[in-house]
Amino acid sequence: MPRHRKPIPEARDRAQARALAWIVGLLLLAGALAPPFAAVRLSLPLWPIAKPLLFSIGFAAIVYALRAATPMAALLGLLICFILGQSPAVWSRYLPDSRPHLLIPAFVALFLLTYAATKFGRVKKEARGLSESRRGRQTSQIIANLGVAGLFAAAGQYHGCIAALAEATADTVSSEIGQATGHPARLITTGRSVPPGTDGGITLVGTAAGLAAAAVVTVIGAWHHPLWPTHGVIWLAAAAGLFFDSFLGATIERKGRLGNDLVNFTSTLLAALLASALR
């Protein structure tokens, strides 16, 4: 069965995805290279970044071996993982709250949860033309889902980073689980019943699974912080981003004005901004 057709014209979708990938990709590259360059200029040792760099290389290799991402997407994932791994060591001395944030464990939890959700009911999703490509996620998809987390980590905004990771997890898990179960979805704006996979359509089981997955990422990422307000604020921000994603899908995405990558990026950005503002 052919894949689900997007309402946005293909040329516009490609142009938006390409622009997003280039702009955010260059910002992420700058964020990853800034601390090592600063260390060299200040004659500081570089050995503290060796561990996150080696871990990032190994993690990207595993992701590519599992065909969870294309080669370029896995390389971009390496860059984001490296930012998440080195940022706490760079910024912790400047932050008023010295308790650690477990960004890498939260990032790994995101991968495990989304990978499992993508594999869940894959045969059914393929039959409906709703499954992800077997080649893995594309570069623009990695940027759309993880770019905000990388940028906020590079800026030392860890609450926003974890909220972005939690929202990205919730979005993927809710979509994949909802599509796999085949339960009728309802348009978030009107409540009208729509086929699974419809932009802006949500299911009860998918939404519950997504919110639970966001809670897992939140708890892991802010493990050493209090349940309230830290965990609660981050989770609520991620939940707001999840529903905002569906709202955008039901409105401007269904009208063909924005592609899914820009919708996902905007939703993770909203979650990150809310968590940072309410911390």
pLDDT, averaged across the chain = 88
4 within a domain of the structure (yes/no): no
Per-residue model confidence (pLDDT) at position 35: 84
150 within a domain of the structure (yes/no): yes
Contacts of 157 (CB under 8 A, 6+ apart): 272, 276
What is the pLDDT averaged over residues 234-240?
98
pLDDT at 95 over 60: no
Query: Domain span at residue 210?
Result: 11-278
Alpha carbon distances (Å) from 74 to 33, 204, 241: 18, 32, 25
6 within a domain of the structure (yes/no): no
**DSSP track, 192-210:** -EE-TT-TTEE-HHHHHHH
Per-residue model confidence (pLDDT) at position 249: 94
What is the pLDDT averaged over residues 153-180?
94
pLDDT band (50, 70, 90) for residue 127? low
What is the pLDDT averaged over residues 168-196?
90
pLDDT at 92 over 80: no
208 within a domain of the structure (yes/no): yes
pTM of the model: 0.92
233 within a domain of the structure (yes/no): yes
Q: Is 77 helix (H, G, I), strand (E, B) or coil?
A: helix
What is the pLDDT averaged over residues 145-173?
96
73 within a domain of the structure (yes/no): yes
126 within a domain of the structure (yes/no): yes
- Residue range 191-219, pLDDT digits in tens: 999 887 788 999 999 999 999 999 999 99
Domains in the chain: how many in total?
Answer: 1
2 within a domain of the structure (yes/no): no
Residue 188: which H helix or E strand, with range?
none
Give the CA diameter of the chain. 62
Contacts of 244 (CB under 8 A, 6+ apart): 266, 267, 270
What is the pLDDT averaged over residues 151-180?
94
